[in-house]
Chains A and B, each alone.
Chain A
Amino acid sequence: MPRLSNGLNSSGIQVLVIAVAAAVLALAGFETGRHSIDAAAIERTIASQATPQHSSDSSVSSRPFAPPERDHIIIRDIATVPFSELYDVLKSASREELFAWATDLERMPRGPRQRAAVTAYYKSLIQVNPRAAIDAVLQARNLGMRDVAIDALTKAAPESIWGDLAEMLVHLPHPRHNPLRENEIFWNWSCVDPEALSQFIEKHPANEEDVRSMFLFSNWGAIDPIAARDWLEADASRQTKGAFRSLVGGWSQVDRAGAMEYAVANAVRPNFDEALNGLELYFVRKFPDDATTLILRLPQEQALTVMKAISQDSEGQTHDVLEDYEKPPELIAPWMVTQPLNLWNDSIGSVVSAWMMSDADAATAWLNQLPNERRDPAIADFCRGSSDEFRDRAIALGFTISDPRLRDQAMGEFARRLGETREEAIAAIDQLPISQEQKLYLGKVMAETANEP
Chain B
Amino acid sequence: MNRRFRTLIAPGLLLLAAISFFVGRRTEEKALAAKARLKAQPQTSRKAETRPEPPSHRQLAVAEILALPFPEFYEALRAAPGEARQKWAAELEKIPPGPQRRSAVKGFYKLLVQFDPKTASTIVSEITDKDLQSLAVSALVDAAPGFAMRDMAELILHLSTKETEVSNSFADVMKERQPSYYFGDVISEWISIDPAAVARFYDEHPKPNGQELFFNDYREVIIAWAAIDPKAARDWMEKSPTQIEEVYDGFISGWYINDPAAAVSYVLSHATEPILGTAVSGTLSELYLDSKDEAKKFIEALPDGKARHDAIQHAFASMARAGTAEETGEPERTPRVVAEWVTQFPPDYWNGTLRETFERWTEGPPEEVVAWIQSQSPEIEAFLANEYKRPLNKTATEAITTIVQFAEPNLRDQLITAMFRNADQSLDQDKDSIAAASFPPEQKNHLLQIIARVEAEKSSNQNAEE
| Interface set of A (CB-CB < 8 Å, partner B) | 11, 14-15, 18, 21-22, 25-37, 39, 42-43, 45-47, 50, 53-54, 57-58, 61, 79-80, 82-84, 87-88, 91-92, 109-113, 115-116, 119-120, 123-124, 127-128, 141, 143, 155-156, 158-160, 173-174, 176, 187, 191-193, 215, 218-219, 222-223, 249-250, 253, 319, 322-324
Chain B interface SS verdict (over half): helix
28 A–B contacts from the bound complex (CB under 8 Å)? A22-B12, A26-B16, A29-B23, A33-B21, A35-B28, A42-B32, A43-B36, A43-B39, A45-B33, A46-B40, A58-B48, A84-B114, A92-B47, A110-B257, A112-B224, A112-B227, A112-B257, A127-B111, A141-B329, A143-B329, A155-B141, A159-B106, A192-B102, A193-B99, A218-B171, A219-B171, A223-B99, A319-B168
- Residues B142 and A155 in contact, CB atoms below 8 Å apart: yes
- Residues A191 and B102 in contact, CB atoms below 8 Å apart: yes
Distance in angstroms between the alpha carbons of A319 and B178 in the assembled complex: 14
- Residues A253 and B171 in contact, CB atoms below 8 Å apart: yes
Q: When A79-B193, A192-B102 are in contact, do A22 and B13 touch as well, CB less than 8 Å? A: yes
- Residues A112 and B192 in contact, CB atoms below 8 Å apart: yes
Please give, as numbers and ranges, the residues of chain A lying within 8 Å of B170 by CB-CB distance: 218, 249, 322-324
B37 at the interface (CB under 8 A from A): yes
| Interface set of B (CB-CB < 8 Å, partner A) | 1, 9, 12-14, 16-29, 32-33, 36-37, 39-41, 43-44, 47-51, 70-71, 74, 78, 98-99, 102-103, 106-107, 110-111, 114-115, 141-143, 145-147, 167-175, 189, 191-193, 195, 223-224, 227-228, 254, 257, 326-330
> Shortest distance in angstroms between A168's beta carbon and chain B's nearest beta carbon?
16
- Residues B329 and A92 in contact, CB atoms below 8 Å apart: no
Across the interface, B16 reaches (CB within 8 A) one of A29, A128, A173, namely A29
Please give, as numbers and ranges, the residues of chain B lying within 8 Å of A155 by CB-CB distance: 141-143
- Residues B107 and A29 in contact, CB atoms below 8 Å apart: no
| 7 pairs of A and B residues whose beta carbons are closest in the complex | A33-B24, A29-B20, A174-B329, A30-B24, A33-B25, A155-B142, A57-B48
Please give, as numbers and ranges, the residues of chain A lying within 8 Å of B27 by CB-CB distance: 30, 33-34
Of chain A, the residue at the smallest CB distance from B39 is A43
- Residues A84 and B115 in contact, CB atoms below 8 Å apart: yes
Across the interface, B21 reaches (CB within 8 A) one of A32, A92, A111, A250, namely A32
Of chain B, the residue at the smallest CB distance from A37 is B28
Distance in angstroms between the alpha carbons of A43 and B167 in the assembled complex: 69
- Residues B223 and A112 in contact, CB atoms below 8 Å apart: yes
Across the interface, B110 reaches (CB within 8 A) one of A27, A45, A92, A127, namely A127
Please give, as numbers and ranges, the residues of chain A lying within 8 Å of B103 by CB-CB distance: 159-160, 192
Across the interface, A87 reaches (CB within 8 A) one of B41, B74, B173, B189, namely B74
Distance in angstroms between the alpha carbons of A92 and B257 in the assembled complex: 34
> Shortest distance in angstroms between B362's beta carbon and chain A's nearest beta carbon?
20
- Residues B145 and A29 in contact, CB atoms below 8 Å apart: no
Of chain A, the residue at the smallest CB distance from B78 is A84
Please give, as numbers and ranges, the residues of chain A lying within 8 Å of B26 by CB-CB distance: 33
Q: When A22-B13, A83-B114 are in contact, do A119 and B20 touch as well, CB less than 8 Å? A: no
Q: When A36-B25, A116-B193, A158-B70 are in contact, do A323 and B172 touch as well, CB less than 8 Å? A: yes
Q: When A25-B16, A50-B40, A173-B329 are in contact, do A33 and B99 touch as well, CB less than 8 Å? A: no
- Residues A37 and B25 in contact, CB atoms below 8 Å apart: yes
Across the interface, A113 reaches (CB within 8 A) one of B9, B70, B98, B228, namely B228
Distance in angstroms between the alpha carbons of A27 and B23 in the assembled complex: 10
- Residues A112 and B146 in contact, CB atoms below 8 Å apart: no
Distance in angstroms between the alpha carbons of A113 and B228 in the assembled complex: 8
Of chain B, the residue at the smallest CB distance from A47 is B40
Distance in angstroms between the alpha carbons of A87 and B49 in the assembled complex: 12
Of chain B, the residue at the smallest CB distance from A154 is B142
Of chain A, the residue at the smallest CB distance from B191 is A112
- Given known contacts A32-B21, A39-B32, A45-B33, what 13 new A-B pairs fall within 8 Å (CB)? A25-B14, A25-B20, A28-B20, A29-B16, A29-B18, A47-B36, A80-B147, A80-B193, A83-B114, A112-B193, A159-B107, A253-B171, A324-B169
